Structures are given as C-alpha cells and as structure tokens.
Amino acid sequence: MSAGSVIGSNVRLALSNNGSVARFLRSKQGLFGVGTLLVLVLVSLAAPWISPFSGYDTSSPELLPPSSEHLMGTDDIGRDVLSVMLYGTGRTVFAGLISVLIAFCIGCTVGALAGYFGGWVEAVLMRVTELFQTLPALVLALFIVAIYGSNTVVLILVISLAIWPLEARIVYGQVLLYRSRPFVDAAITTGYRPFTVIVREILPNAMPPVMVQLSLDGGLALLYQVALNFLGFGSAKDPSWGQLMNVGQSYLSTAWWISIFPGVATSIAIVGFSLIGDAINRATSPYDHKPNIFRKQRR
Amino acid sequence: MSPDTTEHEYVLKVRDLTVDIRLGSSESRVVDGVSIEVHAGETVGLVGESGSGKSMFARTVVRLPPPNLEMRTNGAIEVAGYDIYELGVAELMKSRRAGTVGLIFQDPVASLNPTMRVGEQVREALQSSTAAQFTVEGLLERVGLHPAVSRRYPHELSGGQRQRIVIAIALAGNPRLLIADEATTALDPQVQRAIVDLLEDLKNDNNAGLLMISHDLEMIAQTCSRIYVMHNGQIVETNRAKELFESPEHWYTKKLIGASQRLAFGVGEG
C-alpha cells in the first residue's frame, strides 16, 4: 500500500461515516477556502496561457502604474506585475502544498510510532521533535539555505523541516488517545501487525484534528515560502510573490502596486487555508452542530 | 508450528500468577498468586467486585498490558498449548493469528472501530487469521446477524448487534479459548441472555473453553460449571457453581451472594 493511498483512504474513512463531508460542503467558509485553493491551482497551471505577458518579459516600461494594458502595473525592470504574479502562483502554492505533504508524512510517521510503541521509541522521537520545535523556523531556514544555496527544492525541504513537529505532536497526542481504546486492543489480540493497527485502526480516527492542523500548516508553509523569497533566499531569476514584494519595498511610496498586489494575494491564500481548517474543525466536531435547544425559548 | 491442542486437556492453565504495575513512582500488586484452569468445552466464571483485578488478569492472559503502564508478571500462563510469556513478539502474533484466544470486551461501542463498516472489520479479522474457516457472511450468520448488516457502521447498529459483531471478530480465528470480560454488562437482560446463549453455542461447536468474567453473580451462576471468586487480586474461593451458592465458605463469597440476592428480591430499596 503506497503512502498516498494510505493517506487517501484514511482521510476518506475519517470523513465518510458521520455526515462530516456533507457538513463541510454546507459551510460557506469551507467552500470559500476550497474555492480559493482551486483558483490558485488552476491559475498556476494555466499561467502561460492566461497571463498577458511572460513572467520573464522585461520589455515593458519600468514602474508603470496600473492601466488597461498592465492591470497591476509594471515593476522596476519592466515586468508586468500581473504576469509575474500569475507565473509565481505555481511556485508559491505548489511549494507550500508539497512542503505540507512532506511535513505530514514525517510528522505522521514520527507521531504514530512514538505514540504507539511508547518506551524508548517515544522518548527518542519526541525529544527529536522537541529539538526541532525549539529551533526558530526562519533561522533554521536561513541557516540551511545559507549552506546549501537557494533553489525551490531546498526551500521546500526547509519549510517541511520547520513545520513537521507541529504534525508530529498532534498525531502523537491522537495516537495516545486511541491506543488504549478497546477496538485497538481487539485488533491486537486478533493478531494484527502494528503497521495494520496504526494505519487501519488508529489513524482514521485520529485524522480530523490532524487535517485541521494540516490546512493551517498549508497557510504557514505558504507564508514561509513567501517570506524566504522576500528575504532573497529563493531563486533570483524565477518569478514569485515574495520576490515581487522584495522588489516593491524600495518603491512603497512611488510604486505601491508592486508590493500591494502580491501582499493581498498572499493574505487571501492564507485566509483560504485557515477557512478550510476552520470548516473541517466544525464539520468533524461532535459539539459544533448540535441543535440549538434555546432558540425557541427566546421567541 | 501450532501445538496440537486437542491433546491438551486445558485450554487455559494459569499457575501462581502475580502482576505488579508501576504508575509513576508507585507500584501495586493487582493480581496475587492466581491459579486458574479452563478445560476444553468448559465454561468457567471469574467473579469479583470492580477493581478486584479481573480485567487485569484477562489482559495478562492475552499478554495485552495496558498502554503507558509498566507491568511485571510472574508465574506461568499456558493458553491452548502456548506458553504465552515465553514467546517472542513475532511468535506471539503468529499464535494470535493461529487462533489461541478471542477476547470480548464490555463496551460494544468502544470495541468497534467507528470509522469502518462492520463487514470490513470482520473481513480484516478473517484475513489476519491463519485458522479462519468462515466467510464474512457465514460468520455474521453464525452469530445470528443478517449478512446485509455488513454494510453498516457501528453507530447504525443496536447494542446487541454490536456485541454480536464483536463476538464475530473474536471468533474469526476459531479460538480455543474465549474470554468474555463483562461482555453482557452494557446490555439489557433479554439481550444479555441471547448473547450468553450464543457464546455457549459457539463454545460447544468449537469445543473451546469459555472464561466469563463478571460481577453479575446470578448470570455467572446460570452459565458456568465452575466459579472462581476474586478479591483484592487473589482467588479467595473456587467451587462448582451449585456448591458455591449452597455452601459458600469465604466471607467475601457470602457477601457477594447476599448482595446478589438482596438485589434480586429488591431488599434495601428506598
């Protein structure tokens, strides 16, 4: 069973049987969040066809304000800001998503093993997790980028290293919670292997809070990606939102459009991730969709 | 290789078992010098009040220590020919898959995975067993359920149906020993009777041993041929069910029987 299919089946199982999917689809926040993410993904895939100019084209006049020809103006080297943003969407969003996926795989494995086996396995893995948690994420990122250079792959790995402890701790807590449930004991006495017990019995039940954390970490990973590019640790020649903001900081008073538009896009993307997390939390919480018994009495 | 249990008279033989648990800095003895035997085809009861060590004994027999508790055991436990505490981890899992013991828990809600259809849970139990003889549908019919139930989730079933599913999972590997740890406590009296009858039938069909653990002395007396009385982790009295009720010797047994009779006749109410 591949890691992808395990995650997929666990997410499906976790949401499938108690109306959580229907509640998620009924929530406006969830739909807005998913819609935002879908738009960003589609835009990043269609960037070469829908952007008015190439993201690398520097032939336009410099520092032009927004107009009908350049809807978001141009930057200091004559690139169309809208085109740079459209080309940069893929790098920003996909780097964030892949970082979260890697962080989830590491965190889920570490948290599940520590919670299930306990003893020295737990002691070693959780101390390593705490060690990573105590390191300031951005400082760690800067340190690694300074050693290994700046490119997209290094950025993705750096962001994954910064956020996996969050996933590990929440999976660890959930596994501890479900490890002592009778259905897990029943599975063990039936002769299930530890891998089967973890993957089939514990993780599907542990998923809802993990998915909430995952969506919040999506926003965090995107923010780290933008921040590292803003600080100049991304690829200098490839367009990205952070790099555009970096350029725009020198022209805040004269060419506000260079930094404002990528800043707004970053905010919307992070709000989208947060809304997905909030909607999953509400949809899977047993307390948040009870009928309001006091409503009639107030009439 | 699996031991040939048909040659063994006992499906459970426990000798001088002591269990000490450590929680933080404190250590306490929860099972103290217990010796119990269950023959093939026999139903044996283990009674005692809550906290007397019955469930810890059951967990020890199947080598299932509670998570996050340091547990130390002494004594010998032989289940269906396997010396359980002499087995390595791989051999222990192999013996479980070969159908040594089936454990049925008190709470049928908590005993089933809420995120999986019950048919899927039964199928997994069958697939993990090397001694399985049934299909999912066959096993469900064996415990008195319609095969269509397999498509349901645990929360869509009644308490009795859930407990039947739990029994089906425990039976998947044709275990030589069935341990029912307060298996009927959470059920209403009619369903309790039906579940006890089902366990008896299944035990007789497989010539397995059945160890019923409960604080319900009346139910144990109606079902079991021999009864062990447990108090503070020790077996304080053991006898055939009839003799135990007619002439109890230990003060604790007398107290248990007295309490059971007072409840039956409603003495002390209001």
| Residue of higher predicted confidence among B15 and B106 | B15
Using CA atoms of A69, A70, A72, A78 in order, give the dihedral in degrees to the nearest 10: -170
Token pair of B237, please?
Answer: 């009295």
Q: Which of B163-167, B189-193, B203-207 has the highest mean pLDDT?
A: B163-167
Q: Which of A17, A192, A196 sits opposite B153 (nearest CB)?
A: A17
Q: Which of A176, A180, A191 sits opposite B66 (nearest CB)?
A: A180
DSSP A164-212: HHHHHHHHHHHHHHHHTSHHHHHHHHHT--HHHIIIIIIHHHHHHHHHH
| Range B129-133 average pLDDT | 77
Q: Which residues of A touch B111 (CB under 8 A)?
A: 182-183, 186
> Which whole-number Å values give the CA distances from A273 to A7, A108, A152, B62, in the listed order?
19, 20, 21, 46
B interface test, pick of A183, A192, A196 with most B CB neighbours within 10 Å: A183
| Residue of higher predicted confidence among B73 and A283 | B73
B73 Cα distance to chain centroid: 19
Is the pLDDT at A7 greater than 80? The verdict is no
Q: Which residues of A touch B110 (CB under 8 A)?
A: 181-183
* pLDDT band at residue A288 using 50, 70 and 90 as cut-offs: low
B185: nearest Cα among B105, B106, B259: B106
pLDDT at A286: 59
Q: Does B115 touch chain A (CB under 8 A)?
A: yes
Q: Which of A180, A191, A201 sits opposite B113 (nearest CB)?
A: A201
Q: Which of A103-112, A127-136, B140-149, B202-211 has the highest mean pLDDT?
A: A103-112
Residues 6+ apart with CB under 8 A from B122: B136, B139, B140, B150, B165, B168, B169, B172
For chains A and B, count residue pairs whose Cβ atoms are closer than 8 Å: 84
Q: Scanning every residue of chain B, which has its alpha carbon at the shortest distance from the alpha carbon of A16?
A: B115
Q: Which conformational region is residue A197 in: left (phi greater than 0), alpha (psi within -120 to 50 degrees), or beta?
A: alpha
pLDDT tens per residue across span A19-76: 677 778 888 888 999 999 999 999 989 988 998 988 888 888 988 999 999 999 999 9
Q: Which residues of A touch B169 (CB under 8 A)?
A: 186, 190
B19: nearest Cα among B67, B54, B68: B54
| Range A223-235 average pLDDT | 85
| Range B126-150 average pLDDT | 87
Distance spanning both ends of chain B, measured CA to CA? 60
Alpha helices in B207-267 (DSSP H): 217-223, 241-246, 251-265
Shortest Cα distance from B52 to chain A (angstroms)? Answer: 20
* pLDDT band at residue B148 using 50, 70 and 90 as cut-offs: very high
pLDDT at A245: 93
> Which whole-number Å values give the CA distances from B97 to B125, B132, B173, B179, in the listed order?
9, 9, 7, 16
Residues 124-183 of B with CB under 8 A from A: 124-125, 128-129, 153, 155, 166, 169-170, 172-173
All domains of chain A, ordered by start, with CATH?
Answer: 42-284 (1.10.3720.10)
B interface test, pick of A189, A196, A202 with most B CB neighbours within 10 Å: A189
Taking the C-alpha atoms of residue B5 and residue B124, their distance in angstroms, rounded to an integer, is: 25
Shortest Cα distance from B53 to chain A (angstroms)? Answer: 17
| Range A212-237 average pLDDT | 86
| Host H or E run for residue B29 | strand B26-39
* pLDDT band at residue A1 using 50, 70 and 90 as cut-offs: very low
Give me the long-range contacts of A265-269 (CB less than 8 A, separation at least 24): A265/A85, A265/A89, A265/A241, A266/A92, A266/A222, A266/A223, A266/A226, A266/A241, A268/A36, A269/A36, A269/A37, A269/A40, A269/A92, A269/A93, A269/A219, A269/A222
DSSP A30-51: HHHHHHHHHHHHHHHHHHHHHS
Distance spanning both ends of chain A, measured CA to CA? 56
Helix, strand or coil for residue B129? coil
A90: nearest Cα among A46, A36, A123, A34: A46
- Please give the share of chain B, as a percent, with pLDDT higher than 70: 94
| Range B256-267 average pLDDT | 70
Q: Which of A182, A192, A193 sits opposite B107 (nearest CB)?
A: A182
Q: Which residues of A touch B103 (CB under 8 A)?
A: 185-186, 189
Q: Scanning every residue of chain A, which has its alpha carbon at the shortest distance from the alpha carbon of B117?
A: A17
> Do A179 and B67 lie within an 8 Å CB cutoff?
yes
pLDDT at B199: 87
pLDDT at A291: 47
Q: Which of B68, B101, B112 sits opposite A183 (nearest CB)?
A: B112
Residue that has been written with the tokens 């962080």 in this structure: A103
Residue type, B161: Q
Is the pLDDT at B265 greater than 80? The verdict is no
pLDDT at A180: 87
Chain A contact residues (CB < 8 Å to B): 13-14, 16-18, 118, 176, 179-183, 185-193, 196, 200-201, 204-205
Q: Which residues of B touch A188 (CB under 8 A)?
A: 64, 96
B10: nearest Cα among B236, B235, B208: B208
Token pair of A214, please?
Answer: 């995952």
pLDDT tens per residue across span B230-254: 999 999 999 998 898 888 999 999 9
pLDDT at B219: 84
Contact yes or no for A206/A15 (Cβ under 8 A): no
Phi, psi torsion values for B134, nearest 5 degrees: -110, 160
Q: Which of A118, A186, A200 sits opposite B169 (nearest CB)?
A: A186
pLDDT at B129: 82
Lowest mean pLDDT among A101-115, A173-187, A246-260, B7-21: B7-21
Is the pLDDT at B6 greater than 80? The verdict is no
> Which whole-number Å values give the CA distances from B226 to A252, A284, B55, in the listed order?
88, 48, 18
Contact yes or no for A23/A259 (Cβ under 8 A): no
A163: nearest Cα among A250, A229, A97: A97
pLDDT at B264: 60
pLDDT tens per residue across span B41-99: 999 999 998 888 998 999 999 898 887 778 889 999 999 888 888 888 888 888 888 88
| Host H or E run for residue A90 | helix A81-117
Is the pLDDT at B263 greater than 70? The verdict is no
Neighbours of A192 (CB within 10 A): 23
A6: nearest Cα among A203, A244, A217, A154: A203
Token pair of A47, please?
Answer: 């960037």
pLDDT tens per residue across span A127-179: 999 999 888 877 887 788 788 877 788 888 888 998 999 999 999 999 999 99
| Residue of higher predicted confidence among B260 and A7 | B260
Q: Which of A176, A179, A190 sits opposite B128 (nearest CB)?
A: A190
> Do A205 and B129 lie within an 8 Å CB cutoff?
no
